[in-house]
Structure 1
Amino acid sequence: MDFVSENLLTLLILLPVFGAVGLIAHQMFWKQEEHLKWVTLAITVVIFLLSLLLLGEGGTKAGGFSFVKNVPWIEAINTNYHVGVDGLSLWLVILTTFIMPIAIISTWHAVEKRPLAFYAFLLLLQSAMIGVFVSLDLLVFYLFFEASLVPMFFLIGIWGGANRIYAAVKFFIFTAVGSLLMLVAIIALYFMHQQATGVGTFDFVTLLGSIESGTLAFSASTGLLLFIAFALAFSIKVPLFPFHTWLPDAHTEAPTAGSVILAAVLLKMGTYGLMRFNFPLFPDAARELAPIFIILAIIGIIYGALVAMVQPDVKRLVAYSSVAHMGFVILGMFSFTEWGMQGALYQMLNHGISTGALFLLVGFIYERRHTREISEFGGIANVMPLYATFFVITAMSSVGLPFLNGFVGEFMIMIGMWKSSILAVTATANWNYIATMAAGTGVIFAAVYLLWMIQRVFFGKVTNEKNLGLTDLTPREIGLMIPLLFLMVFMGVYPRPFLDRSRDAVVAIQERVVKQAGGTVEVVETFEKE
């Protein structure tokens, strides 16, 4: 057990890779494609169970990392394999390992073309995503960040819809180009540290320590440029308005498993990167540019909701809802309050669960009718009552109905923005209040577009004879939805276990940003651990 504890994060990264290699070997010797999905499912279940061991220590050290592994890798440039987990990354790693078995089962009967490559790409994608959330060396982080592009590119490009090539190329170009500037900034930090101390490093903890001690210092303009270089890569990944245009196409054309993973995990790599690297390394730039990010977040919330209202395709509607939901996450992060930042992290998890579930449900109906056009449906609650029930509950979670998970995150974000001091207070207006109320309209719009879609798809008489023969959810599909629905309710009525784990890491980042500017950090007693 000591070996597992000491190398737990490495095992979580490498097991999917070994699994992909094992699939190839299995196919070479046994040539039984039916076994591939079972082997892949078994691998991902084992990885999920292993990830639960992180709960034993992860997120319990005030501002520190657990399960740390730091060994030399490329000594010529002082690059280490340095991984660790804290309250910020803990739940995102577990979300990644939790969602993968669900994604695999969701395509149980849908993958007929090149199943070996499909499941191998899923495993490689899982490895890269976990690597992103646990890497504490900037170069290693960048490599995992870029590596995640390749499997998703092929998942969309090979197993996607009619416009899959366009969507895959657009996804790849957007994210790859943005990441190049981040690489330049990482290299710049290396040489700046070398100039200041005589030793170059990509190590995040070392760089942060040098900046906090004043050993590594740079001008305000340099800090802004470095912040922007990192933030551009992460903003595209979120995606933050106006960098969102790749997302609806990618979601619409991706296979169900790809859409679920994209919504649940890949988008969170952007918001995670902002909180993990941008805020601690460049706190002055973060505060200076916060009003711009808040404005873009509010535009994204309202724009995403308004565009979702007019979508004829259910999957595209859910895709645009992601633009709005991730706008709320950005809003909470840049409030620089504990309420807002904790709410943002919680909303990352909520979005992954609720929107991932919506994409699953859209996939279920697509397998039956091979269409996602809203006009093709109507009254299907009469023939699929269980499906309709699950869909309505999930949609209410996405809207933010009290006692469901979405309410907690949005409520905390709104309070955090209301209490924030990041925006100016003038003689005529308190802009924090105005920003909060503007974002609040997004909640109303979300209720409008989701309830209107539900009314048209599920209620009334069956308007299309093709829908009369639809069958309700199978045991496999029910089994996929039950854990997601359980989390929607549990996280809505009892968020404390999640918030307690993340609090120390979030407050450490908040203190870094606020105190650097001479401010004070308010202690929120609601989140004090028992």
Structure 2
Amino acid sequence: MILAMLIGLLFAGGVAAWVSEKINPNYPRAIALITMLLGMVLVLVLLNGSNGENELLASVNASWLPRFGISFYLAADGLSALLLSLTVFLGIIAIGSAWDEITERTGFFYFNLLWTLAGVLGVFTAFDLFLFFFFWEVMLIPMYFIIAIWGHENKNYAAMKFFIFTQVTGLLMLVSILALAYFHHNQFGTFSFNYYDLLRLETKGSLEIWIMLGFFVAFTTKL
């Protein structure tokens, strides 16, 4: 549950930062910083909760769309926890760097920043590939607005180019994910996007290469 709380905290903090600008232009950055500091506290609680008996530090698994084998499955192992810590830490650094630099539409800026970070945290903890794709796409629109509004030279061109490239390659990754779910249905009679279920798949070498390429192209383009 702590993982859902962490991601939900950033989503809620983003909305609060956006709305608070109507009250005081200085509130959004303060709310964003407080949100990330609370996020760091949750990450420290997560790290402190390890007992060494389970490879997963935390997990939450709830049915989402059972007909299609989709679940809200978040989990974190040691590597995920390290990435979560790094993401939250860099988020705090980003807010500090933008503290005096961002003076235009501050509420909307911190909304987009926190939602981007929430998407990153979701990507690092999603153990359901459909949920993984959902968080992957959650990062796209906020990043587009950050580039388009607060970018520098040729910011509109850069933002549109970023959006088109990531959308096209994101579709390739979605095709790969759907292919895995389809093969699971063929072999086991049910659709599943669960990471552990998909590990049991038996596929031919050529199919594995094409599926891998869908992920590879999406990952390299996003970077």
Q: Same fold (TM over 0.5)?
A: yes
From 108, 112, 116, give the equivalent of 1:121: 112
From 190, 194, 200, give the equivalent of 2:191: 200
Structure 1 Cα separation of the partners of residues 140 and 60 of structure 2: 25
**For residue 32 of structure 1, what is the amino acid of its counterpart?**
N
Structure 2 Cα separation of the partners of residues 39 and 33 of structure 1: 11
Describe the shift of the 1:70–1:151 C-alpha distance in structure 2 as closer, same or farther (beyond 3 A).
same
Describe the shift of the 1:174–1:196 C-alpha distance in structure 2 as closer, same or farther (beyond 3 A).
same
RMSD value over aligned CA atoms? 1.7
Percentage of identical aligned residues: 35
**For residue 219 of structure 1, what is the amino acid of its counterpart?**
K
From 4, 11, 20, give the equivalent of 2:5: 11
1:422-454, Cα deviation, whole Å (9 max, x unpaired): xxxxxxxxxxxxxxxxxxxxxxxxxxxxxxxxx
Structure 2 residue 40 is the aligned partner of structure 1 residue 55: no
Cα offset, 1:40, TM superposition? 1.4
Aligned residues of 1:9 and 1:84 also touching (Cα < 8 A) = yes
Aligned residues of 1:58 and 1:85 also touching (Cα < 8 A) = no
Structure 1 Cα separation of the partners of residues 190 and 160 of structure 2: 39
From 31, 46, 49, give the equivalent of 2:38: 46
Structure 2 residue 72 is the aligned partner of structure 1 residue 81: yes
Structure 2 Cα separation of the partners of residues 119 and 235 of structure 1: 26
Structure 2 Cα separation of the partners of residues 59 and 139 of structure 1: 30
Cα offset, 1:89, TM superposition? 1.4
Q: TM-score, normalised by structure 1?
A: 0.41
Structure 2 Cα separation of the partners of residues 23 and 125 of structure 1: 14
Aligned residues of 2:20 and 2:107 also touching (Cα < 8 A) = no
1:80-479 mapped onto 2 (5 Å cutoff): 80-208=71-199, 210=200, 216-238=201-223
Bigger Rg over Cα: 1
Aligned residues of 1:132 and 1:144 also touching (Cα < 8 A) = yes
**Higher normalized contact order (CA 8 Å, seq sep 6+, divided by chain length):** 2
Length, aligned pairs only: 223
In structure 2, runs of 5+ residues without a counterpart are: none
1:130 is paired with a residue of what secondary structure?
helix
Cα offset, 1:60, TM superposition? 4.5
Structure 2 Cα separation of the partners of residues 134 and 125 of structure 1: 15
Aligned residues of 2:65 and 2:71 also touching (Cα < 8 A) = yes
Cα offset, 1:159, TM superposition? 0.6
Structure 1 Cα separation of the partners of residues 133 and 115 of structure 2: 16
Structure 2 Cα separation of the partners of residues 219 and 76 of structure 1: 27
Structure 2 Cα separation of the partners of residues 122 and 50 of structure 1: 19
**For residue 9 of structure 1, what is the amino acid of its counterpart?**
L
**Matched residue, 1:36:** 28
**For residue 43 of structure 1, what is the amino acid of its counterpart?**
T
Aligned residues of 1:20 and 1:123 also touching (Cα < 8 A) = yes
**For residue 80 of structure 1, what is the amino acid of its counterpart?**
S
Aligned residues of 2:17 and 2:29 also touching (Cα < 8 A) = no
Structure 2 Cα separation of the partners of residues 113 and 58 of structure 1: 43
**For residue 223 of structure 1, what is the amino acid of its counterpart?**
E
Structure 2 Cα separation of the partners of residues 25 and 112 of structure 1: 16
Structure 1 Cα separation of the partners of residues 207 and 65 of structure 2: 28
Cα offset, 1:65, TM superposition? 2.2
Describe the shift of the 1:233–1:171 C-alpha distance in structure 2 as closer, same or farther (beyond 3 A).
same
Structure 2 Cα separation of the partners of residues 24 and 34 of structure 1: 11
Cα offset, 1:59, TM superposition? 9.8
Describe the shift of the 1:59–1:158 C-alpha distance in structure 2 as closer, same or farther (beyond 3 A).
farther
Q: TM-score, normalised by structure 2?
A: 0.94
Aligned residues of 2:80 and 2:125 also touching (Cα < 8 A) = yes
**For residue 96 of structure 1, what is the amino acid of its counterpart?**
T
Aligned residues of 1:60 and 1:86 also touching (Cα < 8 A) = no
1:207-230, Cα deviation, whole Å (9 max, x unpaired): 11x2xxxxx311111111111111
1:35-76, Cα deviation, whole Å (9 max, x unpaired): 2211211111111121112212459467x3221100101122
Aligned residues of 2:21 and 2:106 also touching (Cα < 8 A) = no
**For residue 210 of structure 2, what is the amino acid of its counterpart?**
L
**For residue 30 of structure 2, what is the amino acid of its counterpart?**
W
Describe the shift of the 1:174–1:60 C-alpha distance in structure 2 as closer, same or farther (beyond 3 A).
farther
Aligned residues of 2:17 and 2:108 also touching (Cα < 8 A) = no
1:128-156, Cα deviation, whole Å (9 max, x unpaired): 11000000000000110111111111111
Cα offset, 1:24, TM superposition? 3.7
From 8, 16, 19, give the equivalent of 1:22: 16
1:79-130, Cα deviation, whole Å (9 max, x unpaired): 1000101122121111011111111111111112111100111111111110
Structure 1 Cα separation of the partners of residues 117 and 89 of structure 2: 11
Describe the shift of the 1:106–1:22 C-alpha distance in structure 2 as closer, same or farther (beyond 3 A).
same
**For residue 102 of structure 2, what is the amino acid of its counterpart?**
V
